[in-house]
């Protein structure tokens, strides 16, 4: 009876604290993820007040949080959208992977962590935070900008790549051999391809089967189906997160909209628990030794993400201003990086990997909204200084003599996007 009361007090205090932190983040207008991570650090191993009886329940809640994050992400896309993005934007996805995964892999090898840790850290530095970026785009009023489809296409390709990357990492962390790992990857690709095929051809029928006018029944059916599929996927060593993502893709139309509306509060609750859980298993004293490598990695991958967005937007015909905005917006890392790091921490990979990932995400989840807002003005100012003042041959002071060219009405809008947005 006493332990039950302590559990209720501890878990209630966690939920209350997360709510207050979320309100503080909303007032400060930035992502609550760093605050959740800091809360986990404060109440975890080596923290101010380590938890006792509620930690096991928090672990289960964290696993549900990952599943709901991926389910909600899948609900954002239809199978036809994913196929279309693969056909048209795959070069940008390849450039994104090359520029942003390689620094993480190189850092792990330089630190002597070995090839498996290199694959894990490559994923941590590669994947941007869809949640943080979506919020930043809305806050800055850039949803209708010319560069926004480019940003979203890169995010879609990153999310889809998780269906391949996560099974590979899961197999590596499990210590399976080459043959077993190849079988796991083949199963993952086969399942992902089958789900996409079924979603394209029979998505309406699947959604109709799940559909109901009763919100309570819709919530129970979608959540139950997701947990079952996630469990089966994990049993096959494909990854529970990938299973949840594929369920989200298979649902479309009114069912997807209704499920998204009903599950959003649950997603926010359990996702917050997940970030706290990751912080609980990171000793704050282990962060200072890896702070310098995390900072160096953050600087390098900030530049590579900006380069990725700039190149992709230029390929799509976006103006110079839009290219810089696209690059700056992609900088934020968050939920996916922590998901990947969490797999490695659970598997007992190098003990410094978790603290480095925590420090890295803390830096970039705070820096990301700032680069989204200020990369384009800063680039415009720097390029203006480098180019220097322009002189007009034949101009006679300010009086406008015969040598002065006629004003160009298009000059004022030359740097605008085709959509007319600055």
pLDDT attached to residue 412: 38
The residues, ordered by sequence, that sit 6+ positions from 293 with a Cβ below 8 Å of its Cβ are: 107, 111, 356
pLDDT attached to residue 418: 40
CB 296 within 8 A of CB 360: no
Cite the beta strand spans of 14-162 per DSSP E.
none
Identify the three-state secondary structure at position 281. Answer: coil
pLDDT attached to residue 159: 76
pLDDT attached to residue 378: 92
Q: Which of 52, 24, 51, 28 minimizes the C-alpha distance to 40?
A: 51
The residues, ordered by sequence, that sit 6+ positions from 258 with a Cβ below 8 Å of its Cβ are: 215, 218
Alpha-carbon dihedral angle through residues 370, 374, 379, 384, given to the nearest 10 degrees:
-150
The residues, ordered by sequence, that sit 6+ positions from 220 with a Cβ below 8 Å of its Cβ are: none
Cite the beta strand spans of 144-228 per DSSP E.
none
Q: Which of 285, 290, 326, 320 minimizes the C-alpha distance to 307?
A: 326
pLDDT attached to residue 405: 44
Identify the helix (H) or strand (E) that includes residue 296.
helix 288-315
pLDDT attached to residue 138: 75
Cα dist from 263 to 73, 169, 224, 359, whole Å: 11, 28, 12, 30
Identify the three-state secondary structure at position 73. Answer: helix
pLDDT attached to residue 362: 87
Cα dist from 19 to 75, 269, 275, whole Å: 25, 9, 13
Angle of helix 178-210 relative to helix 253-280, nearest 10 degrees, comes to 140
Burial of 382 (0-12, 13-18, 19+ CB in 10 A): exposed
Burial 320-346 (b: 16+ CB within 10 A, else e): bbbbbbbbbbbbbbbbbbbbbbbbbbe
In tens digits, what is the pLDDT along the chain, a chain of 422 residues? 557 777 788 778 888 888 998 888 888 877 788 888 888 888 766 566 666 556 677 778 888 888 888 788 778 777 676 677 677 778 999 999 999 999 999 999 999 998 989 999 999 999 998 778 877 887 788 878 889 888 988 987 887 787 778 877 877 787 655 566 667 667 766 766 776 677 667 767 777 778 888 888 889 999 998 899 888 877 766 667 777 877 887 887 788 888 888 888 888 888 888 878 777 777 788 889 999 999 999 999 999 999 999 999 999 899 999 999 999 999 999 878 888 888 888 777 777 888 999 899 889 988 988 899 899 999 988 887 655 554 444 444 444 443 444 444 443 333 444 444 43
pLDDT attached to residue 322: 93
pLDDT attached to residue 192: 66
CA distance linking residue 337 with residue 105, whole number of Å: 14
Q: State the first-to-last Cα distance of the chain, in angstroms, to the nearest integer.
A: 62
């Amino acid at each position: 009876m006493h332990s039950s009361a302590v559990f209720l007090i501890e878990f209630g205090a966690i939920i209350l604290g997360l709510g207050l932190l979320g309100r503080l983040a909303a007032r400060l207008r930035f992502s609550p993820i760093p605050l959740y991570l800091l809360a986990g650090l404060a109440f975890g191993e080596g923290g101010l007040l380590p938890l006792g009886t509620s930690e096991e329940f928090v672990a289960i809640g964290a696993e549900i949080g990952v599943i709901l994050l991926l389910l909600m992400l899948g609900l954002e896309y239809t199978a036809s959208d994913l196929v279309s993005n693969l056909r048209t934007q795959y070069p940008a996805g390849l450039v994104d992977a090359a520029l942003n995964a390689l620094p993480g892999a190189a850092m792990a090898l330089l630190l002597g962590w070995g090839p498996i840790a290199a694959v894990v850290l490559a994923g941590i530095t590669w994947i941007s935070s869809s949640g943080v970026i979506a919020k930043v785009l809305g806050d800055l009023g850039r949803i209708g900008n010319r560069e926004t489809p480019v940003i979203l296409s890169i995010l879609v390709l990153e999310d889809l790549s998780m269906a391949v990357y996560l099974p590979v990492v899961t197999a590596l962390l499990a210590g399976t051999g080459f043959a077993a790992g190849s079988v796991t990857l083949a199963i993952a690709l086969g399942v992902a391809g089958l789900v996409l095929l079924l979603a394209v051809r029979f998505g309406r029928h699947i959604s109709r089967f799940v559909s109901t006018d009763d919100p309570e029944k819709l919530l129970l059916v979608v959540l139950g189906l997701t947990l079952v599929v996630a469990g089966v996927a994990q049993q096959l060593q494909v990854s529970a997160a990938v299973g949840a993502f594929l369920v989200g893709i298979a649902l479309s139309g009114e069912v997807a909209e209704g499920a998204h509306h009903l599950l959003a509060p649950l997603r926010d609750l359990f996702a917050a628990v997940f970030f706290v859980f990751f912080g609980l298993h990171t000793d704050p004293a282990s962060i200072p030794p890896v702070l310098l490598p995390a900072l160096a990695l953050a600087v390098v991958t900030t530049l590579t993400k900006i380069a990725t967005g700039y190149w992709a937007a230029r390929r799509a015909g976006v103006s110079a201003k839009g290219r810089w905005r696209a690059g700056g917006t992609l900088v934020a890392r968050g939920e996916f990086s922590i998901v990947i790091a969490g797999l490695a921490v659970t598997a007992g990979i190098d003990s410094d990997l978790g603290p480095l990932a925590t420090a890295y995400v803390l830096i970039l989840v705070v820096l990301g909204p700032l680069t989204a807002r200020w990369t384009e003005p800063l680039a415009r100012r720097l390029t203006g200084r480098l180019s220097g003042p322009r002189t007009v041959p034949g101009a006679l002071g300010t009086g406008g003599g015969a040598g002065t060219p006629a004003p160009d009405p298009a000059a004022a809008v030359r740097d605008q996007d085709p959509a007319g947005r600055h």
